[in-house]
Amino acid sequence: MPSLAERLAVPPVTTVFERMSALARETGAINLGQGFPDLPDPPELIAAAQRALAQRSNQYPPMRGLPDLRRAVAGWYAQHQGLALDEGNVVITSGATEALAAALLALVRPGDEVVLVQPCYDAYQPLIERAGGTVRFVNLAPPLWTLDPAALTAAIGPNTRGIVLNTPNNPVGTVLDRAALEAVGALSRDHDLWLVCDEVWEGMILDGNAHLSALAIPALADRTVKIGSAGKIFSLTGWKVGWAVAAPPLVAAVAARHQFLTFTTAPALQWAVAEGLTLPPEWHAAHRARYIQARDAFVAALTLAGFHVLPAAGTWFVTIDLAASALPPDDQAVALRLVHEAGVAAIPVSAFYAERPERGFLRLCFAKDDDTLALAADRLAAFRRQA
Ligand code: PMP
Ligand code: GLN
């Protein structure tokens, strides 16, 4: 029988985001690691939350979320993604993280195998394993990070029950196109798989294209749980208002787990997000435009300094190819040197791998004000000159 200490030793104890933010605080480095904006909060949302706190009930909202918010989520997806949904397709959670946990607890049985695509967000594997499942990894191919349907097919075995995808992708910012999602649809239908599609970055596609949801693919519509986050749509990461969207039987299974994870989410924030989601498309376009400006200025400064920045469609991140930037191709070592020697914290992309990592790439968050980005770019340029 393992001791208590052995039973508590579940690696990793803290996420790479926590570790890099702590290191940035200790060293006083500019924190381009953990993904959060330091641009002004949207005033419409702050005012709506203040009004709701003062004027609405602060007691338990309904377990599945305020009907107004569930309708607003469905309405936003109809308007921005052409999806035909209603409040019966939506459960509100405490952030996308809880939606992921509830979905994976609902879908994974002990012994089930789940396919993950690397680089992948850090929460998926521990949640699947906590539910008793095991993971098989498929790697995206750099530098374009395309998903090879044949590699996905090869990862499907007799015990495979589901796939987790993330589009746009954190950390590398690429999106799955219709052909890739249709290939996943055909595979899921043939093998009777479920799909959890983490689409939290759907509001931050910065290349002018519309987001394509897995729910828009007919073969996936009844077997997909789509995950969303107001934290990303409105740049309010601390609010932790998220949701899962799916066909009614799937959403009921997710809600049954949400019921015993957090039961519900702060009502004032739910009211504020409901109001925010009914803001006109022009509001969202202007919100995105601020991030496009930040990304363009930062990429231009990095490129001028000799860095090779990989193309990406969205998120708050850009990725540097270290070897193509004439830097040593060991992302962990470079990230540590950067924080200590240059005063800039970044996230090594290899932290998004559990096996067979790509080590030559670094993720930088550009969701910062102009002066912070300019100073960070100067520091990175000086580091590269002497590295
Ligand atoms: N999934 C991805 C891909 C993310 O990048 C994040 C947060 N950065 C989350 C889920 C978690 O979102 P939330 O803060 O709403 O829990
Ligand atoms: N998702 C955020 C990022 O990619 C971090 C979230 C967290 O710290 N858990 O930076």
Distance between CA atoms of 185 and 223, rounded to whole angstroms?
9
User: pLDDT at residue 13 above 90?
Assistant: no
For the CA of 232, the nearest ligand: 1
Closest residue by Cα to residue 363 from 323, 319, 310, 298: 319
Closest residue by Cα to residue 73 from 290, 226, 186, 253: 226
pLDDT-derived band at 14 (thresholds 50, 70, 90) equals: confident
Q: What is the mean pLDDT of residues 219-241?
A: 98
Distance between CA atoms of 331 and 353, rounded to whole angstroms?
12
What fold is seen in the domain 57-279? Answer: Aspartate Aminotransferase; domain 2 (3.40.640)
Residues with CB under 6 A from ligand 1: 35, 95-97, 121, 166, 170, 198, 200, 229, 231, 237, 240, 242
Q: What is the mean pLDDT of residues 46-63?
A: 98
- Predicted local confidence at residue 2, as pLDDT: 86
Distance between CA atoms of 54 and 57, rounded to whole angstroms?
8
For the CA of 238, the nearest ligand: 1
| 69 contact partners, CB below 8 Å, separation of at least 6 | 92, 270, 271, 273, 274, 277
User: pLDDT at residue 309 above 80?
Assistant: yes
Q: What is the mean pLDDT of residues 156-164?
A: 98
Q: What is the mean pLDDT of residues 23-47?
A: 96
Backbone torsions φ then ψ of 77, nearest 5 degrees: -70, -30
Maximum separation of any 2 CA atoms in the chain, in Å = 60
- Ligand 2 centroid–CA 238 distance in Å is 11
- Predicted local confidence at residue 300, as pLDDT: 98
- Ligand 2 centroid–CA 98 distance in Å is 14
Tens of pLDDT, residues 98-108: 999 999 999 99
High-pLDDT (> 90) share of the chain, %: 96
In degrees, rounded to 5, the angle at the alpha carbon of residue 165 between the alpha carbons of residues 203 and 22 is 70
> Is 21 a pocket residue for ligand 2 (Cβ < 6 Å)?
no
Q: Which residue blocks in the chain are alpha helix, DSSP H?
A: 4-8, 16-27, 43-55, 67-81, 95-107, 124-130, 149-154, 178-191, 230-233, 248-261, 267-277, 281-304, 331-337, 370-386
Residue nearest to atom 9 of ligand 2 (CA): 17
Ligand 1 atom nearest to CA at 17: 8
- Predicted local confidence at residue 9, as pLDDT: 75
Tens of pLDDT, residues 79-95: 999 999 999 999 999 99
User: pLDDT at residue 10 above 80?
Assistant: no
Q: Using alpha carbons only, how large is the chain's radius of gyration in Å?
A: 21
- Ligand 1 centroid–CA 5 distance in Å is 30
Residue matched to tokens 């990406």: 312
- Ligand 2 centroid–CA 17 distance in Å is 6
For the CA of 240, the nearest ligand: 1
User: pLDDT at residue 62 above 70?
Assistant: yes
Residue matched to tokens 């962990």: 332
Distance between CA atoms of 69 and 266, rounded to whole angstroms?
12
Tens of pLDDT, residues 314-332: 999 999 999 999 999 999 9
Residue nearest to atom 1 of ligand 2 (CA): 35
- Is-above-0.95 flag for pTM? yes
Tens of pLDDT, residues 332-349: 999 999 999 999 999 999
- Predicted local confidence at residue 359, as pLDDT: 97
| 282 contact partners, CB below 8 Å, separation of at least 6 | none
Distance between CA atoms of 12 and 357, rounded to whole angstroms?
16
> Is 95 a pocket residue for ligand 2 (Cβ < 6 Å)?
no
Q: What is the mean pLDDT of residues 7-36?
A: 89
Reduce the DSSP state of residue 265 to 3 states and report it: coil
Distance between CA atoms of 58 and 278, rounded to whole angstroms?
22
pLDDT-derived band at 7 (thresholds 50, 70, 90) equals: confident
For the CA of 14, the nearest ligand: 2
Distance between CA atoms of 331 and 324, rounded to whole angstroms?
13
- Predicted local confidence at residue 52, as pLDDT: 98
Ligand 1 atom nearest to CA at 121: 3
> Is 169 a pocket residue for ligand 2 (Cβ < 6 Å)?
no
Domain limits of the chain?
Answer: 4-42+282-386, 57-279
4-42+282-386 is classed in which CATH architecture? Alpha-Beta Complex (3.90)
Query: Taking all residues of the chain, what is their mean pLDDT, rounded to a whole number?
Result: 96
Ligand 1 atom nearest to CA at 315: 5
- Ligand 2 centroid–CA 34 distance in Å is 5
- Predicted local confidence at residue 12, as pLDDT: 63
Give the containing element (helix H, strand E) for 117: strand 113-118
User: pLDDT at residue 11 above 90?
Assistant: no
